[in-house]
Structures are given as structure tokens and as C-alpha cells.
């Protein structure tokens, strides 16, 4: 640094030199450590998602051998629950933000999957998701997804008997105290 300094004896330049080599080394090491942790966390989400998809596939395989309709439905419900958790990890893995999930996108994908999995409601029941760009942390997204999974599954199975038509709306909004309400 150079600073002008005017004194009764004349104009001088005050200089100071600070060695920031160690500070730059520490910042580079911190940055490398952060990248390494992000890569590791990304890999963890990817592996968890893959493992949950394997569990979901195993449940599907098992359901194919079951003769009891009620037991088959129970296995399907379990498969959908596992899928709702796997979907959180997939969204985190793909989004690049490893700590928070876009709730609107997640609920849209989840409800589409549930409607496709339950099949017969595709042309009769309209699913509507109303969620602004809310983000949830992982520890809130998983239970939220499980609750929505149960509510939508029950609505699709029981709210429209005898081929009736209708719609199911899933609404998520920021409530009082900045808490998400679904």
C-alpha cells in the first residue's frame, strides 16, 4: 500500500507491505475442501436415490407374485412411499443445491407419479399443484412428501368411487412465521 504523507519537512510516501501468501493458501485449501464436501454430498444423494429405487423395484417385483389384491395394494403403497423419498434425493442431486428442494417441482413430479402408479384415475381425476417457488430443507421435504403421498393416494383411491370425475388440489404456501403450509 502507498499513501501520501505531507509533513512540514516535505511530501513523503508511506508504504506498507503485508505478505498475504498464507491467507491465500488457507483460502484455496478451504475452497478445495468445500468442493470435495459438495462432491461427496452429491454422491451420497445419488447413491441414496439409487438404493431407494432398488427397494422400490424389489417391492414391485414382489407385488407381481402376490395373488391377494389387498396385499398387492399394500406393496404398491409402500413402493410409492419409497419413491416419494427417493424423489427428494433425486431433486437435490439434479438441482445443484444440496441442502434445499424446490417444493413446487417436487410436488408436481410426486403427484404425477402417484396418478400414473394408480392408473385408473388418469382420465377422470385432474391433479392440480399450487405451490410458488418455495424451498424446503431435506429434513422437512421427506416428511412433507410422505404426507402428500398419503393424502393424494387416499384421494385417488377413495374420493371418486364408481368412475366419478373430479379434481384434487395440492396447495403449498408460506404461512405465518415463515413456515410452509401444505
pLDDT digits (tens, 9 = 90+) for 54-97: 998 899 899 889 999 899 889 988 998 999 888 888 887 777 77
Do 150 and 77 meet the contact criterion of CB atoms below 8 Å apart?
A: no
Give the predicted TM-score (pTM) of the model.
Answer: 0.69
pLDDT at 71: 92
The mean pLDDT of the chain is 86
CA distance 167 to 121: 10
Mean pLDDT calculated for residue range 22-46: 88
Give the residue ranges of DSSP H helices in 7-68. Answer: 21-65
What pLDDT, on a 0 to 100 scale, did the predictor assign at position 97?
Answer: 72
Residue 78 vs residues 19, 149, 160, 182: alpha-carbon distances, Å: 61, 10, 22, 22
Comparison of pLDDT for 80 and 174, the residue scoring more? 80
Amino acid at each position: 500500500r502507498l499513501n501520501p504523507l505531507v509533513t512540514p519537512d516535505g511530501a513523503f510516501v508511506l508504504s506498507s507491505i503485508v505478505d498475504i501468501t498464507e491467507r491465500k493458501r488457507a483460502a484455496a485449501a478451504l475452497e478445495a475442501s468445500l468442493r470435495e464436501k459438495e462432491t461427496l454430498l452429491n454422491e451420497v444423494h445419488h447413491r441414496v436415490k439409487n438404493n431407494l429405487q432398488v427397494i422400490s423395484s424389489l417391492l414391485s417385483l414382489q407385488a407381481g407374485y402376490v395373488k391377494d389384491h389387498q396385499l398387492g395394494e399394500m406393496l404398491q403403497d409402500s413402493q410409492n412411499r419409497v419413491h416419494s423419498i427417493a424423489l427428494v434425493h433425486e431433486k437435490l442431486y439434479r438441482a445443484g443445491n444440496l441442502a434445499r428442494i424446490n417444493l413446487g417441482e417436487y410436488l408436481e413430479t410426486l403427484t404425477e407419479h402417484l396418478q400414473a402408479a394408480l392408473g385408473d384415475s388418469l382420465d377422470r381425476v385432474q391433479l392440480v399443484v399450487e405451490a410458488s417457488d418455495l424451498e424446503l430443507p431435506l429434513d422437512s421435504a421427506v416428511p412433507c412428501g410422505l404426507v402428500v403421498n398419503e393424502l393424494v393416494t387416499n384421494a385417488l383411491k377413495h374420493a371418486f368411487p364408481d368412475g366419478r370425475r373430479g379434481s384434487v388440489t395440492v396447495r403449498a404456501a408460506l404461512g405465518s412465521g415463515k413456515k410452509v403450509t401444505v
